[in-house]
Amino acid sequence: MDMQGVVGVYSKQGACTKSLHVLYGVQHRGQESSGLTAAGDNSLRTWKGKGLASGVFSERFRSFMHPNDYAVIGCASGENADNGFPPVESRHHGRFVFSVALDGYFPREGGTNEEVVARSLHQYLSKGHGFTDALAETMRKHRDAYYSLVACVWDREESVSRLYAARDERGVRPLYVAANDASSYVASESAPIDVLENMGEHFTVRRDVTPGSILCIDDGGIEETQVLEPRRAHCVFEWVYFGRPDSVIEGRTVHAARKALGHALVELHGLRDEYGITEGTPDDLVVIPVPDSGRSVCTGVAEGLGFTADEGVIKNAYMGRTYIIDNPEFRKLASDLKHNVIRETVDGKKVIITDDSIVRGTVSESIAQNLIKAGAREVEFLVSYAPIFHPCFSDPPDKPLAARPYEGKSLEEIGSLISQGLPSINRVRYNDEEHILEAVGLPRDHICTYCVSGRSPFKP
């Protein structure tokens, strides 16, 4: 279930700078490496490195920007940097040179996802297909893959650069497009497009890229080709955790969906009665989020309970990611270094703490331990997602999942079994699939809940 942020810009003015502006806005989707490829001036140039875009694209990057680079793609990747990272540039010694980056997964093939796509494109290009055709054929051939893809192409024959975007027929990962007469933008999410608008850009086009379609963008504007009929299976975790709260994915604001998940928890578990809430804020109870992923759900829970949430755990924003650390000992160390508790908020109180998900439970237990040390009487976890039983298609099948052994048991029972395994946590309450789908609010057969339900959109 790993993700990546992708961006694309077509503009005759400052395409590189603009793409960097958008890249900052998708950095939450991957922090291991950052890269851009520019197409123009008879060539393709890629600039990439380990770490955040703000570090990789220093002053030295200026020498990379050419005035005739019109098509630029970029990505913020969670890819282990030692395996090589995207974008992947491909020097086809025919008519086209191109570079690809994607957020998604191609099963059962050698190399990185981008290398699989590049190989397939080569294969069709060398048969004489045009680039759009080669991409369409690649999409038809890989019906079991999912991808939100960007590519920039230098066409040697016509001496023009083009930007491409494509999204798999299920639309598992988000992809957004915005355009005006002068420029077109593609990005994993809508939030960085808002930022451009705030900075003075006006758009006549603003929408999700249709699943199964290709956008070819150049001087002539956007040309759309619907290659495959949409068979929507949007990953539900985009609204639960992956997406920025300020993004709108398929018409649904992520923050609003998360708040609805909070309301759902209150309703599903009858929490007002459970906590004996009559009026106002009870003085022996406090509701706080795990920052930042538990924030929006916390607002929803507080709204549902009828009182204000507080801040009790503060995150050191400079510590980076704890989730991707495999070794549980190091993950606990990283979490301990990253989180501190405001004693005054929690001392002597029953602490209700919200988070989006419990995967292995290490982070939750370490936070709960520190809440107890700061004087919390009890710690109850409210989890906006449901127990996860099935590793996602792109995850190793033996991925450790705390709830996996308990599939088939009731929500209540799973919550109590999980909390038994996490000594500092008195209680864990989850959402169920029904309430999650309702909170997201899209037609339920358009949403993938495989990790919860085991129903795969890839197996009819």
Strands (E), 363-446: 378-383, 427-430
**Minimal CB distance residue for Mg ion:** 293
Taking CB under 6 A as the rule, does residue 177 contact ligand 5GP?
Answer: no
Query: Per the structure block, which two tokens stand in for 73?
Result: 């793609």
Least Cβ distance, residue 122 to ligand 5GP (angstroms):
32
Question: Crossing angle for the helix pair 328-338 and 362-373, nearest 10 degrees?
Answer: 40
CA atoms of 62 and 429, how far apart (whole Å): 51
Contact characters 203-242, ligand 5GP, x per CB under 6 A: --------------------------------------x-
Q: Going by C-beta distance under 8 Å and a sequence separation of 6 or more, which residues neighbour residue 92?
A: 98, 121, 122, 125, 126
Is the alpha carbon torsion for 222, 228, 229, 233 positive or negative?
negative
Given the complex with ligand 5GP, which of 257 and 290 has the nearer CB atom? 290
Indicate which of Mg ion, ligand 5GP, none lies near residue 364 (CB less than 5 to 8 Å, by partner kind).
Answer: ligand 5GP
Given the complex with Mg ion, which of 95 and 315 has the nearer CB atom? 315
Given the complex with Mg ion, which of 132 and 366 has the nearer CB atom? 366
> Among the candidate windows 22-30, 193-201, 217-225, 319-327, which touches ligand 5GP by CB under 6 A?
319-327
Least Cβ distance, residue 321 to Mg ion (angstroms):
9
> Among the candidate windows 25-33, 189-197, 287-295, 371-379, which touches Mg ion by CB under 5 A?
287-295
Least Cβ distance, residue 355 to Mg ion (angstroms):
6
Contact characters 130-159, Mg ion, x per CB under 5 A: ------------------------------
Taking CB under 5 A as the rule, does residue 369 contact Mg ion?
Answer: no
Residues in the chain: 460
Taking CB under 6 A as the rule, does residue 381 contact ligand 5GP?
Answer: no
CA atoms of 175 and 35, how far apart (whole Å): 18
CB count within 10 Å of CB 49 equals 15
Name the one residue in this structure whose structure tokens are 């949409």. Answer: 230
Interactions with ligand 5GP, residue window 348-367 (CB under 6 A): 355-364
Query: Per the structure block, which two tokens stand in for 273?
Result: 């009665």
Taking CB under 6 A as the rule, does residue 1 contact ligand 5GP?
Answer: yes
Given the complex with ligand 5GP, which of 87 and 361 has the nearer CB atom? 361
Q: Going by C-beta distance under 8 Å and a sequence separation of 6 or more, which residues neighbour residue 230?
A: 169, 170, 171, 210, 211, 212
Taking CB under 6 A as the rule, does residue 323 contact ligand 5GP?
Answer: yes
Taking CB under 5 A as the rule, does residue 293 contact Mg ion?
Answer: yes
Please report, as a single letter, which amino acid is at residue 274.
Answer: E
Task: Give how far Cα 245 sits from Cα of 122, 349, 435, 453, Å.
Answer: 38, 29, 19, 25
Indicate which of ligand 5GP, Mg ion, none lies near residue 91 (CB less than 5 to 8 Å, by partner kind).
Answer: none
Indicate which of Mg ion, ligand 5GP, none lies near residue 357 (CB less than 5 to 8 Å, by partner kind).
Answer: ligand 5GP
How many residues bind ligand 5GP (CB under 6 A)? The answer is 17
Given the complex with ligand 5GP, which of 360 and 409 has the nearer CB atom? 360
Burial 405-435 (b: 16+ CB within 10 A, else e): ebeeeebeebbbbbbeebebbbbbbbbbbeb
Residues at the contact surface with Mg ion, assessed by CB under 5 A: 293
